[in-house]
Amino acid sequence: MKPIRVALAGAGAFGIKHLDGIQNIDGVEVVSLVSRELDKTREVAARYGIGHVTNELGDSLALQEVDAVILCTPTQMHAAQTLECLRAGKHVQVEIPLCDVLAEGQEVVEVASKSGLVAMCGHTRRFNPSHQYVRRKITSGAFNIQQMDVQTYFFRRSNMNALGQPRSWTDHLLWHHAAHTVDLFAYQCRSPIVKANAMQGPIHPALGIAMDMSIQLQAANGAICTLSLSFNNDGPLGTFFRYIGDSATYIARYDDLFNGKDEKIDVSTVDVSMNGIELQDREFFAAIRETRAPNASVADVLACYQVLHQLEQQLTG
């Protein structure tokens, strides 16, 4: 089997999660690492045995042996870099979010559809075994969502990443963190979102973003979702999902799943790994090998960004 050779852009917290996951996937080799600070990038490359290091994505795209690119770069660069990869003839997986301007996401979808290449967005919740377990209950007809109640909480009053290191860019509750739940809600309901409302708290004087947000959604099948997001919450941290349905209640905390009585459900055999990042990477590479659209293709997730755009219009209009 010919190996798929990959360039990875972004050697920060999420880039390292992808590198760790790829180590468990046969027939895939990371051959180029792109990141802003060359010294730190060289350290990461040495740790993972990556031969080529650069701080320019174009350098990696110029390598003939590179088949595919994984983008773990700042949100504001996602759409433009995805287009750059597609126009260079490379398959591409871009970390969530696809864009923070809807028109840019639409352009990505249009270019990807004409390219014949695999273009995927890292909507990890679709792949986490806890959410896969619930999905299987839904697709079998054993469970139907009536309501989802989701809390996405961080304590992040400055530009810090998941490793507690300084960031060069500003994260965003709506275009990044809400995207996970907006997409997951429609995906799990198997029904498009037809109503969406949002409110936000005060704008941070230095970061220029809302630090607290509340979102309400309704799917065409009548199911509802309430999402609370905060960068001000001083613990517990993370995203916590409560699925309330017609036959059960499920609570997902990180990779663990519980029923309504807080009894743990074993999801260790749902897929080949408990690592959602690894599972989404497996889907990306499988789609390349099988010349098919992946789960969470850019076309598949565009509806999420249309909802986010509508919510932004509400908040800023």
Report whether pLDDT(162) > 80.
Answer: no
What CATH superfamily is the domain 4-123+276-296? NAD(P)-binding Rossmann-like Domain (3.40.50.720)
User: CA gyration radius for the chain?
Assistant: 19
In this predicted structure, what is the pLDDT of residue 168?
59
What CATH superfamily is the domain 128-270? Dihydrodipicolinate Reductase; domain 2 (3.30.360.10)
Calculate mean pLDDT across residues 253-274.
96
DSSP string, the chain: -PPEEEEEE--SHHHHHHHHHHTTSTTEEEEEEE-S-HHHHHHHHHHHT--EEES-HHHHHT-TT--EEEE-S-GGGHHHHHHHHHHTT-EEEEESPS-SSHHHHHHHHHHHHHHTS-EEEE-GGGTSHHHHHHHHHHHTTS--EEEEEEEEE-B-SSSB-TTSPBPSS---IIIIIHHHHHHHHHHHHTS-EEEEEEEE-PBPTTT-SBSEEEEEEEETTS-EEEEEEESB--SS-EEEEEEEESS-EEEEETTEEEETT--EE--TTSSS-S-HHHHHHHHHHHHHHHTSPPTTBHHHHHHHHHHHHHHHHHHH-
In this predicted structure, what is the pLDDT of residue 257?
98
Digit-coded pLDDT (tens) for 182-200: 999 999 999 999 999 999 9
What band does 171 get if pLDDT is binned at 50, 70 and 90?
A: confident
Spatial neighbors of 292 by CB under 8 A, at least 6 apart, are none
Parse the chain into domains and list their residue ranges. Answer: 4-123+276-296, 128-270
Q: What is the pTM of this model?
A: 0.95
- How much is the mean pLDDT over the chain? 95
Domains 4-123+276-296 and 128-270 share a fold: no
